[in-house]
Amino acid sequence: MAHTHSSRYAETYQASMTDRETFWLNVAKSIDWIKPPSRAFDASQGVYGRWFPDAEVNTCYNALDRHVAERGDQLAVIYDSPVTGSKSQLTYREMRDQVARLAAVIRDQGVEKGDTVLIYMPMIPEALMAMLACARLGAVHSVVFGGFASKELATRIEDAHPKLIIAASCGIEPNRVVTYKPLLDEAITLSAHKPGKVIVFQRPQAHATLIAGRDLDWVDAMAGAEKAGKSADCVPVKATDPLYVLYTSGTTGKPKGVVRDNGGHLAALAWSVPNLYDIHAGDVFWTASDVGWVVGHSYIVYGPLVNGATTVVYEGKPVGTPDPGAFWRMISEYKVKALFTAPTAFRAIKKEDPNAEHLKKYDMSQFKALFLAGERADPDTVNWAETKLGVPVIDHWWQTETGWAIAGNPLGLGPLPVKHGSPTVPMPGYDVQIVDEAGHPLPAGKMGSIVIKLPLPPGNLPTLWHADERFREGYLETFPGFYNTSDAGFVDEDGYLFIMGRTDDIINVAGHRLSTGGMEEVLASHPDVAECAVIGIKDALKGEQPCGFVVLKAGVDRPHADIENEIVKLVRDKIGPVAAFKLAITVHRLPKTRSGKILRGTMKKIADHDPWTMPATIDDPAVLDEITTALKEKGIA
Ligand code: COA
Ligand code: AMP
């Protein structure tokens, strides 16, 4: 393993801090601008300033067109789908041609620069095409993850106001076909905003019924465009124009529309792909996530393509499709240089194949590094992966809001020594600090709120979609002059960051970010429920799993088990299967402080078997015994 002195990290980070302008203008040189930036940052624009304020660019051009001359026959996208038994590959030229044609189809539906398009598709190359076609026209895409239910989809349609929706007829989970079209039709019915048109990509596993006058068949529309010789050119946009909106769980049920701009995003990807992931033009980079998440946006779609690499679209799971050797099969078959996934995927593999027997079947000689993010990478899992794979295992920490790593170990600059449990050090442009509740800096080793001094670097959200005030209130007000990450942790003596958990109601289930507040809203909507509390409790596989406590209304005398089952179903129907909500527990009362605040933290400690002390402000200590008993009855505490 390389040592600190052989890494160019320290000087690189320092350069980004001392001369922001020069640093990012240098990075910007690897982007093909229509109008190059004359300056990097303008503090007077936007909520906290804007990046590359006078530049013009097109993201699709940078992801596809500019590579065609030099690497037109190189693969841009490799698709491998064990759940359907299919595989396909597209070169940069093929991808550019398909995307230009799709962009023409979209344009013919009235979509122009600045319009929004919602995309509801599984892990198929057409999802990438849809995103890139929007980028080509300067339209703003908003991808919704397939594991969300109609109501969540409806909220996003209502907030994003899409002129057009692009969907697939279905997604495929190992145990079922998820028919997207009925979910989408219901969401459109629920939403006050209605899209003008819907383009549907029909998959053989479930044929969707199209609504005459509104719905178009993808294949027909593309064939029509091809026959008419139609294709759309890249439309110049301002670097500060939005490329996409991605909704993420907020502190209430209403999701936050994280905005990504074109120029800053390109700069962040142009820096991070080579310098953090050590991926360069011609390399194969596989991110095993989903296009519905930020990780998918940055490192399945835009990051690899902007940098001329080959990306892998995997429609499958780490285990069960067909076995825990699936990842090794992919890596050897496609000569993957680096894999990026969530720790939960490795916990799943480790559980089914603890000795990594499946690994013996595959040639992994091209494989150089494993990157983990999305949740805390527990040292056990990191250790297992390092030992079995014999490559660096790199934890890195980021959020939907930031769009790329806040902290990581920059392999491309020469790796720093790994410390298990730490995502290593801040990336360029991130001035990360640990503060107490009053915003005072804390010394090394002391746990506090993790904040980032403004401005946030390029690629980070400039604001929330049509909600500057919500952005200010949610992120910038608690610690003036700083962005509040809502993560807690500490920095050690060597400047290594340790991320210990969230300071808000967000929990992390199988690398998926969920709001317990949002789940509580659903529980409270059950007619028999008087009061409720949802907490995330430790789970060996998924990191955390949600657990809901309900107090029933007086006079309700139906069997508790029936009500609990209804509640589980309600969360699945309202939020979606991705919430993985399987545990509802009826109790007589909830533990509260004398002022009426529910003691969720103490409940969590009891459920997690962590040491806990009786809160001094508790109203009635006996309630905690009742909670312990209720958890024991469910086999938990
Ligand atoms: N569309 C529809 N449903 C989906 C879905 C999708 N795209 N993705 C997941 N679901 C469903 C699952 O089928 C499951 O449904 P079930 O309750 O009927 O079993 C439910 O949502 C919960 O999904 P998840 O928590 O992911 O569990 P899982 O059993 O599908 O997979 C692992 C669990 C352990 C294999 C997990 O390691 C994994 O790979 N998770 C994904 C990690 C990831 O990509 N995170 C993104 C951030 S980098
Ligand atoms: P998301 O916006 O879905 O990417 O989720 C972001 C949140 O996931 C962060 O705020 C953290 O709480 C958590 N997270 C992401 N990466 C890591 C990591 N490497 N270590 C610990 N927590 C992480």
Instruction: Kindly give the distance from the C-alpha atom of residue 159 to the centroid of ligand 1, in angstroms, as a whole number.
Output: 25
Q: Which two tokens stand for residue 366?
A: 């091209």
Q: Which residue, by CA, sits nearest to atom 37 of ligand 1?
A: 345
| The model's pTM | 0.97
- For 160, the enclosing helix (H) or strand (E) is helix 150-160
- In the reported structure, the alpha carbon of residue 317 is separated from the centroid of ligand 1 by a whole-number distance in angstroms of 8
Ligand 2 mean position, distance from CA 506 (Å):
10
Which mutation among 487, 506, 514 tests ligand 2's pocket best, with the greatest number of atoms within 8 A of CB? 487
Q: What pLDDT is attached to residue 280?
A: 98
Cα 504 to Cα 72, 381, 613: the distances in Å are 47, 26, 21
Q: What is the pLDDT of residue 2?
A: 43
User: What's the confidence (pLDDT) of residue 253?
Assistant: 66
* Alpha-helical runs (H) found in 475-547: 516-524
* Ligand positioned closest to the Cα atom of 295: 1
Does the domain at 9-316+396-490 match CATH 3.40.50.12780? Answer given as: yes
Q: Per-residue pLDDT tens for 546-603?
A: 999 999 999 999 999 999 999 999 999 999 999 999 999 999 999 999 999 999 999 9
Give the per-residue pLDDT at 3: 47
Dist. CA 545 → ligand 1 center (Å): 12
374 lines ligand 2 (CB under 6 A): yes
Could you tell me if 151 and 118 are in contact, meaning their C-beta atoms sit under 8 angstroms apart? Answer: no
Residue 254 confidence (pLDDT)? 80
Rounded to 10 degrees, the C-alpha dihedral 357/362/367/370 comes to: -30
**How many angstroms separate the CA atoms of 110 and 358, rounded?**
51
For position 244, what pLDDT does the model report? 99
Q: How far does the centroid of ligand 1 lie from the alpha carbon of residue 509, in Å?
A: 9
pLDDT value at position 1?
43
Please report the atom of ligand 1 found closest to the CA of residue 511. 45
Please state whether beta strands 197-201 and 393-395 pair in parallel, antiparallel, or not at all (unpaired).
unpaired
Number of H helices, E strands in the chain: 20, 31
Fold agreement (9-316+396-490, 510-633): no
Task: Quote the CA–CA distance of 612 and 600 in Å, as a whole number.
Answer: 12
- The whole-number mean pLDDT for each consecutive block of 10 residues of the chain, a chain of 637 residues, reads 72 98 98 98 98 98 98 98 98 98 98 98 98 99 96 96 98 97 98 98 98 98 98 98 95 86 98 98 98 98 99 98 98 98 98 98 98 96 98 98 98 97 98 97 98 98 97 97 98 97 94 94 97 97 97 97 98 96 97 95 96 94 96 90
Give me 264's structure tokens.
């800053």
Q: Which residues are within 8 A (CB) of 143 and not within 5 positions of it... i.e. 6 or more apart?
A: 118, 119, 120, 121, 127, 131, 244, 246, 291, 292, 296, 297
Q: Which ligand is nearest to the CA of 505?
A: 2
302-339 pLDDT tens trace: 999 999 999 999 999 999 999 999 999 999 999 999 99
Pairing type for strands 407-408 and 425-426 reads antiparallel
CA of 502 to the centre of ligand 2 (A): 9
CA dist 29 → 70, 299, 404, 447, 535 (Å): 18, 21, 19, 39, 47
**Residue from 251, 397, 515, 542 whose mutation best tests the ligand 2 pocket (most atoms within 8 A of CB):** 397
> Is the domain covering 510-633 a CATH 3.30.300.30 domain?
yes
Q: How much distance in Å is there from the Cα of 543 to the middle of ligand 1? A: 13
Does residue 199 come out as left (phi exceeding 0), alpha (psi in the -120 to 50 range) or beta? beta
Work out which ligand 2 atom sits closest to the CA atom of 397.
19
**Cα dihedral sign, 477-481-483-488:** negative
Nearest CA to ligand 1 atom 14: 577
Q: Which residues contact 526 (CB under 8 A, 6 or more apart)?
A: 550, 563, 566, 567, 570
Residue nearest to atom 15 of ligand 2 (CA): 374
User: Token pair for residue 341?
Assistant: 């996934």
**Is 250 a pocket residue for ligand 2 (Cβ < 6 Å)?**
no
Q: What is the CB < 6 Å shell around ligand 1?
A: 146-147, 171, 173, 178, 289-290, 293, 295, 317-319, 342, 344-345, 348, 374, 509-512, 541-542, 577-578, 580
CA–CA dist 429, 422 (Å, integer): 19
**Packing angle of the helix pair 262-275, 20-27 (nearest 10 deg):** 80
65 within ligand 2 shell (Cβ under 6 A): no
Q: Which atom of ligand 2 is nearest to the CA of 400?
A: 2
Query: Domain extents for the chain?
Result: 9-316+396-490, 510-633
